Amino acid sequence: MPKTKKAHRHAPDWIILTIACLAQFMVVLDVSIVNVALPSMQRDLHFTIDSAQWVVNAYVLTFAGFLLLGGRAADIFGRRRVYLTGLTVFTIASIGAGFAATGSQMVAVRALQGIGGAILSPATLTIIVTTFHGKRLPRALGLWSAVAGAGGAVGGLLGGLLTGWASWRWVFFINVPFGILAGVLALRYLREMRNRDAAVKLDVTGAILVTGSLAALIYGVVNTTTVVNSKTIGWTATSTLLWFLGAALGLATFFIWETQVASHPLVPLRIFHVRSLSMANLVMLLIGGAFFSMWYFLTFYYQYILGYGPVKTGFAFLPMAIAIIVGAQTSSRLLPKLHARPLLLIGTSLATLGFLWLSRIGVHSSYTVDVLAPSALCALAIGLLFTPLASAATTGVDRADAGLASGVLNTARQLGGSLGLAVLGTLAADASARFALPLSAAALTSGYERAFQVSAGIALVALAASLAVPRVIVAHPNH
């Protein structure tokens, strides 16, 4: 381990937590903060409603595709170096997004921002699991989970305030002071740590293969709603099937490369021999698919159906942020007593009920009567789920692979979210297209109802998958 300054060795817990949580907050915030700004951004940059999804998808897609590479980089090159690299890329890309003048520029810079987030996010969880041990670890994971979960709901509030009081461009510029603060703290207090036995070689080919495959898969799904010559491209169209075929071939090539060719594979399959990790990632994949699109659809429901402005829309998300924090703190306190599986069963059950309840919204629904309670219930479920999932995915994994385990978990969440948004957005658009006026309030609401119904089904599958998570999962340092 390289020599470090005395300040690095004796940094108090709260500073290390601040370094990890501040960066994770930025990364998660940038998924949801954009949602409230999308209608304004759509008008200024001349996006269609369907193509506006790519402002979110471009970020989530590159984020998901490069997370495994970012996680492995933290193990090989060191958590501090990778943290600072990711933070720099993310902050610079945020400035570029704020100055974007066209839709294509916005999508390109958002993709770069996603790469920065993919480098940064695994390093934050690696910092947690390599710094805190014993009883300190569940508490640290609880705070990290609360910040990660609340970033989605706080993003709605902050995005609404910035869009309403200033400009949508400030939803990106706001990252700059956060990035500078996090960078200064990391330079001053964060001690370097890396796997000294690992060969300094990254599987760039594997990262390109998996990212390209996921891009083809998601583009194929989103492409089903594209209108050509007054006709909507469907799921069985030749162009759609070609994208799906390309995705399948790419993923097959990725698997062969990882198992047969790569000398230092991006994802060594041995890591999935840890049952708690493999099952936690399956649950996280499903949860990401159900929850990520919730903020997207609620944003448009508030503004297009209920007639809220950006500021009022932001405040409508505030109870969800509070519910996530309450859930995460409750979960971190219960984890050492109940372990992961009971908390996962409770969280996925609440999520299923919450989405079913949300699917009853209509054109004349009231926020207070029909939306507040079910959305808060879903948010509480998010808070309850993140801590036990993070614990399950990192317990039993060698500390030398902490970055990889963190990257795999974050990949599952982001991949689920990206696919979920693409699929649910397509299903919602299909439901709305059945109306004579597909952009009417009734048509749009029908689409949101369909999306929340499917989300409830995904949460129910996550409930079933939670039964396979090992009963006893104790957070402890791995040697």
Say whether 1 sits in a helix, a strand or coil. coil
Confidence of residue 58 (pLDDT cuts 50, 70, 90): confident
Question: Is 473 a residue whose pLDDT tops 60?
Answer: no
478 token code pair: 């791995």
Could you report the per-residue pLDDT of 339-365, keeping only the tens digit for each? 888 999 999 999 999 999 999 998 989
Check: CB of residue 432 under 8 Å from CB of residue 443.
Answer: yes
Q: What is the mean predicted confidence (pLDDT) over 441-455? A: 92
Tell me the C-alpha distance between 188 and 112, whole Å: 27
* Spatial CB neighbours of 225, under 8 Å, sequence gap ≥ 6: 50, 232, 233, 425, 426, 429, 430
* Residue that wins the pLDDT comparison between 78 and 444: 444
Question: Which is more confidently placed, 4 or 205?
Answer: 205
Q: What is the mean pLDDT of the chain?
A: 82
| Other Cβ atoms closer than 10 A to 353 | 17
Element holding 227 (H helix, E strand): strand 227-228
Indicate whether 121 pLDDT > 80.
yes
Tokens 């958002």 sit on residue: 110
Which pLDDT score is estimated for 475?
44
395 has pLDDT over 80: no
The pLDDT of residue 406 is: 73
Between 203 and 260, the higher pLDDT residue? 260
As beta bridge partners, residue 232 has 227
Q: Is residue 270 within 8 Å of residue 467, measured between CB atoms?
A: no
pLDDT attached to residue 403 = 66
Q: What is the pLDDT of residue 478?
A: 42
Fold for 6-202+266-466, please state it.
Growth Hormone; Chain: A; (1.20.1250)
